Amino acid sequence: MARQSPQRPDADEPELDDTDAATAADEVEEDRPPADRALWEEVRIDPVEIALPSGTGFTLRAYRQARELTPTDVAERDQDDPFLARRQVVETEDDEEVVILDEEFAALSAEEDDEDEEKDAKARRKDKAGASDDEKAETEAEDEDEDDEAGDEEVPVFLTHKGRLLLFKTPESLVTFIRSGAPNDLSQLDSWNELSERLEPADIAPLDEDTYELDLVVENLRGGHDAWDHELLIEAGEIARDLAYALRLPAVLDMLSSGSSLDDLDEALRASVNGGVGGFLGRRRLKKIGAQTASLGWRTIVGKISAVVDWRD
């Protein structure tokens, strides 16, 4: 939508200077009642707003211990979606076409994982063969402790179904869906019934920290180091990691994993917003990160997330 030209004030109306205008805006903000967060705090679920190149939508997110959750079922998604199964042709704003080959990457990763697992299994068998009974018992106990720690880890879960993120264009459509009793992955939470009974459209008011603009990330990175919006990019990394985990997108998790180029970007951004020596070193690290590489990586991530969105009116 084109930006409207400012209207000329009537002669009888006094013009507000910058200070008066700011004061008036603050008064309007203060008069606006804050969204009631009591319900969200009780059910431990939050409304989230996500902007993607294809539009902006509302969804829900919660954090629970991994042992409490059944992961979303991606069998149908992976079978039907050519983006995930084979390749995707992405048309950019510059009318470029970039072919992302996932099949070769997946096959190579699976082969490497199989080799690593086989080596680990052989090493464990060798260790157990030469270990005493006490050592074996200790090893088994350590393995159980590791499993318990993994189950106690708090992980994200979204309003998803069969491997797809449900995004709603209006608060009303989101509330209607929740009240309908339609199947989704959040319904497994013990607080879901209470939310569906009490939720109203006015409650769908995401906090600033739960509002993400993935549609701006690639363009911002293309602008070069001096134009990078640190807060925008850091928040994009947070929501992308959450979505990749909840939606079971291993390629995205790998691109953002520790030691990757995009993880280096994230760490440098976080360091640069701090003061002192750490902030200085972070800014120096940012200048060594290629803007083109970062933008291409993020274009792939946004494309993969967009490919598993189910838009609802």
Q: What is the pLDDT along the chain (313 residues), one digit of tens a residue?
A: 443 434 444 444 445 455 554 554 455 444 444 557 999 999 999 999 999 999 999 999 999 999 999 999 999 887 765 544 444 444 444 444 444 444 444 444 455 455 555 655 655 555 555 555 565 556 555 555 554 555 589 999 999 999 999 999 999 999 999 999 999 999 999 999 999 999 999 999 999 999 999 999 999 999 988 899 999 999 999 999 999 999 999 999 999 999 999 999 999 999 887 777 777 777 888 888 888 889 999 999 999 999 999 999 8
**Which run of H or E residues covers position 166?**
strand 164-168
Q: How far apart (Å, rounded) are the C-alpha atoms in residues 150 and 66?
A: 7
Alpha carbon 133 to chain centroid, angstroms: 46
| pLDDT at residue 284, as a whole number | 81
Q: Determine the 3-state secondary structure of 99 from DSSP.
A: strand
Angle at 209 between CA 280 and CA 223, to 5 degrees: 50
Q: So where are the chain's domains?
A: 37-103+155-312, 113-152
CA distance linking residue 285 with residue 297, whole number of Å: 18
Cα 22 from Cα 31, distance rounded (Å): 14
Structure token pair of residue 312: 């609802």
Strand ranges inside 92-161, DSSP E: 97-101, 154-158, 160-161
The whole-number pLDDT of residue 135 equals 57
pLDDT of residue 79: 77
The per-residue pLDDT for 313 is: 86
What is the predicted pLDDT for the residue at 11?
Answer: 44
Give me the pLDDT at residue 13, please.
46
In 3-state terms, what secondary structure has residue 196? Answer: helix
What local confidence, expressed as pLDDT, does residue 174 receive? 98
Global pTM reads: 0.69
Residue 5: per-residue pLDDT: 37
Buried b (16+ CB within 10 A) or exposed e, 261-295: ebebbbebbbbbeeeeeeeeebbebbeebebeebb
